[in-house]
Amino acid sequence: MNEAEVVVDDEVPVVRIIREFDAPVEEVFRAHVDPEVFVRWNWDDGWSVRFDHFDCRTGGSYRITMSGPEMEGSVHGSFHDVIPNERIVQTFSPDAAPDLVVLETHRFEDLGEGRTRLTAQSLVESFDVRDAFLDAGLVEGYARLDALLAEG
């Protein structure tokens, strides 16, 4: 099983997660841009998720409403740069905390032989927010993605 490498910076409130997948880059990228696939690995069972809109292209935007055992709310953001199978740059903001804006960059690297390295970086406004991100289940989501990709 592939393990996620989580890197934090002591001077900048950023989280970087590096994870390899036993799947082609096209499949890993699709899992990030196709809402039907995205919903299958981003939330645990027991969550209800609705895409109010999801326009994953450069200049596009999204709004997602979700409810689960511990919370209910919506998030929204903008896609600043989408290069298929290479990179997604987007913002992320919870409706409940409109002053919180996260800048996320996802880089997809084709390792050959049907393998992909994903480097996901989230830049936030404070170290407290960064530390909350570390507790948000990001690594577990990638384990669910791994299982989904293995299904084919």
pLDDT per position as a tens digit, 94-148: 999 888 999 999 999 999 999 999 999 999 999 988 888 776 666 788 888 988 9
Summarize pLDDT for 15-35 with one digit per residue, the tens.
999 999 999 999 999 999 999
Q: Which two tokens stand for residue 58?
A: 């450069």
Q: Quote helix, strand, coil % in the chain, to nearest 5.
A: 25, 45, 30
Report all structural domains of the chain as residue ranges with CATH numbers, in order of start.
5-46+83-151 (3.30.530.20)
CA distances from 12 to 26, 56, 88, 128, 131 (A): 31, 28, 21, 12, 12
Q: Which two tokens stand for residue 128?
A: 């407290």
